[in-house]
Structure 1
Amino acid sequence: MSQAHSQDLSAFTTFRLGGPAPQVIVANTRDELLDFCAAHPLELNGEDTAQVLFIGGGSNLLIADAGFDGPVCVVRTTGVETTETTTADTRVTAEAGEDWDSFVAHTLGLGLSGLEALSGIPGSVGATPIQNVGAYGTEVGELISSVEVFDRVAGQIRHLTAADLAFGYRTSALKRAQIAAGTPQFVVLSVTFDLQRSELSLPVRYAQLASALDVEIGTRVSAALVRDSVIALRRSKGMVLDGDDHDSWSAGSFFTNPIVDDPEILPAEAPRYPVTDPLSGAKIEGKTKTSAAWLIEHAGFSKGHSLGEGRATLSTKHTLALTNRGHASTADVIDLAATVVAGVEDAFGITLEPEPTFIGCSIDDGRRP
């Protein structure tokens, strides 16, 4: 484990934003990560609980310009193990610090399918179950069999099943516990996936992906071809990390797609999608999902929209991403986000919910029109 030292946290986030922290260490092994966790236990409802920050790939973080005044652990643990099961699935376990896209490519190289539609997503393996990361019709909650965590309250390692994790749209029991405590209670050590031994993808579920592949919804095609197509689609939206492309200096999709109980509040032309259980795939009755990007665009915010000097703008390729044009501050991003939220509320009566985790700041800090 590296010696603790002061460092600017912008070096660890895809937004390239965030002020200094006085104690930053890098955990390269599981033992180093466990040592950090053991040194920083969590007492729920306790007074003066020390705040700590865990950073994986930094792709879902917006950190205050003032930084973080507490210990920071950058998780860089690595390792992948594969186990054959008695079913048609192959069980693959990856350490939390593994790069997500490299892991996806590795599974496809082993002849395993399931994760191909999640290609090109920045970040680490350990972050995926917290957010129930999803894209192009697939969510990790469908494929995760268990997650190994360190419980900072109990002071011990626990193994949580998919049922324990209670996945929902961009949420999980891990995320809800973190929100409730104001700091992570469960630190992900490793994630285990059940994948198919097949060269064919999961059935294609997403219309844009099906169109790019020139196939019907529900078709299975080469998993490698799906990966290539997804990465091309993501790159066209500035959603593949590229130091020369400021549209990728972001946290990806900044807002989740709203889920409404009453679809009648939506304009007739607004997109409507069913809401499904990530484990069973069953439709959840009485819930309708719509497109945050559509709402943003039709509230009058076009690609590249900016405030003031334009240090932070909506992506020039996709209105759902807020971007750092090279000299932005976190405050610039928050001001832009607050303006977009207010505009969508005024136009449609729907409140957009941010997807990134805010550290030391809040969207309520933004200056709204």
Structure 2
Amino acid sequence: MRVGGPADEVITAETSDDLVRHASRLWAEDEPWMLLGGGSNTVVSDDGFPGTVLLVRNTGIEVVESDATPAGRVRLRVQAGHDWDQLVEACVERGWSGIEALSGVPGRAGAAPVQNIGAYGQELSDVLHSITFLDFASDEVRRIPAAELALGYRTSAIKEGLAGVVLSIDLLLWANEDRNNPMSGPVAYGQLADALGVTVGDRVSIRELRRTVLRLRASKGMVLDADDHDTWSSGSFFTNPIVTEHFARSLPLDAPKFPVPGAEPAPAVTSLEDLAAGAPLRIPDAAPERMIKLSAAWLIERSGISRGYRLPGSGAAVSSKHTLAITNRGASSAADVAELARFIVQRVQQEFGVVLAPEPNLYGLEA
């Protein structure tokens, strides 16, 4: 976003060993420090960071040979500091599918499992096999299977308090036999399918899908361009809120609502056949309530905040391409960004009773 003040000190880790050594020392010193990948999802106050910033810059991609790898799949080990989009580009060129819809996502590979990055119908959780993790509870490096990371919508066990440092990630992708015309996974997002001229569930050229995703992201200001202030942002500033189905019914009928996969409510009654088979009598009140994901962009727009909106005298503004992005128009401070974010949260809460949560990591700021 090109806002925020300096750190007291910056250290760069070029290898995994460097990362372990520096992180262990900083942790032992018990002084303020920040682990930073690409910085695209981080907003720091104008006062800066009163401590040491450790930059994650270990890079590299290798194929992990294992008898346990399923047929037709390829397992990759990617170092935490590897640029994410360069990883996607390399996989697409080799015909390995599973992350092509995540083209153009900024940042480093090690940050991907922290909030389970996702876009255009794909999420990291679809392909993540495991991570190599420096665990500060044990002060040891260990491999953690993806199933133990509690990956959810923009969250994980790491984001929720599992302390440590991601050193590398293992991905389990699909290997295309046809290297000349490798195909993508099934297209899972309506807007992407429309842009490709296909229907949801179809497969297309993996290379064409990447090109289309990059065009879509660029049209929303989500691909960095130094000459375009709409791209001077941290991407989507707010996550799409998840509410109960009961609450969702109180919103206008045209509000976008998407059922969240997970525990489904049990049937209200138990059939005689189920009872005869020994099933317990179901109590309707005990059934979990279905959860619904809302569109933060829709809520923002319907609360009276349009694209390009700016508070008087502020250097920050809502993107002219996408209402989910808060942008630096060239002279913004971090305080300007936080002030606009708080105003948006307030407007949406007043209008719909929904409290938006910021997606970026904020240091020394409240939104």
| TM-score with structure 1 setting the length | 0.87
Q: Deviations over 1:25-73 (max 9, x none)?
A: 111111211111120226xxxxx94221011011110111111111110
Corresponding position: 1:295 with 2:299 = yes
Give the distance between the partners of 1:68 and 1:37, measured in 2 at CA: 17
Corresponding position: 1:250 with 2:254 = no
The letter of the residue matching 1:324 is N
1:260 matched to which residue of 2? 243
Corresponding position: 1:17 with 2:3 = yes
2:281 matched to which residue of 1? none
Q: Equivalent of 1:194, from 168, 172, 191?
A: 172
Q: Equivalent of 2:254, from 269, 272, 279?
A: 269
2:201 matched to which residue of 1? 218
What is the SS of the residue equivalent to 1:355?
Answer: coil
The letter of the residue matching 1:55 is L
What is the SS of the residue equivalent to 2:260?
Answer: strand
What is the SS of the residue equivalent to 1:107?
Answer: helix
Contact 1:40 1:152 in 2 (8 A): no
Give the distance between the partners of 2:197 and 2:94, measured in 1 at CA: 26
Give the distance between the partners of 1:269 and 1:226, measured in 2 at CA: 30
In the TM superposition, structure 1's runs of 4+ consecutive aligned residues that sit over 2 Å from their partners are 48-51, 83-87
1:92 matched to which residue of 2? 76
Give the distance between the partners of 1:194 and 1:230, measured in 2 at CA: 21
Distance 1:226 1:24, change over 3 A: same
Return 5+ residue gaps in structure 1 as ranges: 1-14, 43-47, 179-184, 278-283, 364-369
Give the distance between the partners of 1:288 and 1:142, measured in 2 at CA: 20
Contact 2:259 2:290 in 1 (8 A): no
Q: Equivalent of 2:308, from 304, 307, 316?
A: 304
1:106 matched to which residue of 2? 90
The letter of the residue matching 2:54 is C
Contact 2:95 2:183 in 1 (8 A): no
Q: Which moved more, 1:216-225 or 1:81-90?
A: 81-90
Corresponding position: 1:61 with 2:39 = no
Contact 1:274 1:287 in 2 (8 A): yes
**What's the offset of the Cα at 1:285?**
6.4
Q: Equivalent of 1:351, from 351, 355, 360?
A: 355
The letter of the residue matching 2:140 is Q
The letter of the residue matching 1:208 is Q
1:163 matched to which residue of 2? 147
1:30 matched to which residue of 2? 16
The letter of the residue matching 1:17 is V
Give the distance between the partners of 1:64 and 1:71, measured in 2 at CA: 15
Give the distance between the partners of 2:199 and 2:289, measured in 1 at CA: 25
Give the distance between the partners of 2:39 and 2:301, measured in 1 at CA: 27
Give the distance between the partners of 1:205 and 1:197, measured in 2 at CA: 19
Q: How does 1:175-190 map to 2 (within 5 A)?
A: 175-177=159-161, 185-190=163-168
Contact 1:41 1:155 in 2 (8 A): no
Contact 1:90 1:194 in 2 (8 A): yes
Give the distance between the partners of 1:265 and 1:152, measured in 2 at CA: 44
What CA RMSD, in Å, does the superposition of the two structures yield over aligned residues? 1.4
**What's the offset of the Cα at 1:83?**
2.9
Give the distance between the partners of 2:132 and 2:64, measured in 1 at CA: 16
The letter of the residue matching 1:259 is I
What is the SS of the residue equivalent to 2:165?
Answer: strand
What is the SS of the residue equivalent to 2:346?
Answer: helix
1:80 matched to which residue of 2? 61
**What's the offset of the Cα at 1:86?**
4.1
1:319 matched to which residue of 2? 323
Return 5+ residue gaps in structure 2 as ranges: 177-181, 263-287
Corresponding position: 1:333 with 2:337 = yes
Contact 2:45 2:365 in 1 (8 A): yes
The letter of the residue matching 2:158 is L
Distance 1:296 1:86, change over 3 A: closer
Give the distance between the partners of 1:41 and 1:62, measured in 2 at CA: 22
Give the distance between the partners of 1:16 and 1:127, measured in 2 at CA: 20
**What's the offset of the Cα at 1:17?**
1.5
Give the distance between the partners of 2:226 and 2:164, measured in 1 at CA: 32
Q: Equivalent of 1:229, from 212, 225, 245?
A: 212
1:207 matched to which residue of 2? 190
Overall identity of the aligned pairs, in %:
48
Give the distance between the partners of 1:152 and 1:66, measured in 2 at CA: 28
Give the distance between the partners of 2:57 and 2:99, measured in 1 at CA: 21
The letter of the residue matching 1:273 is F
Give the distance between the partners of 1:310 and 1:112, measured in 2 at CA: 45
The count of residues paired between Structure 1 and Structure 2 equals: 332
Give the distance between the partners of 2:194 and 2:90, measured in 1 at CA: 26
1:238 matched to which residue of 2? 221
Contact 2:95 2:206 in 1 (8 A): no
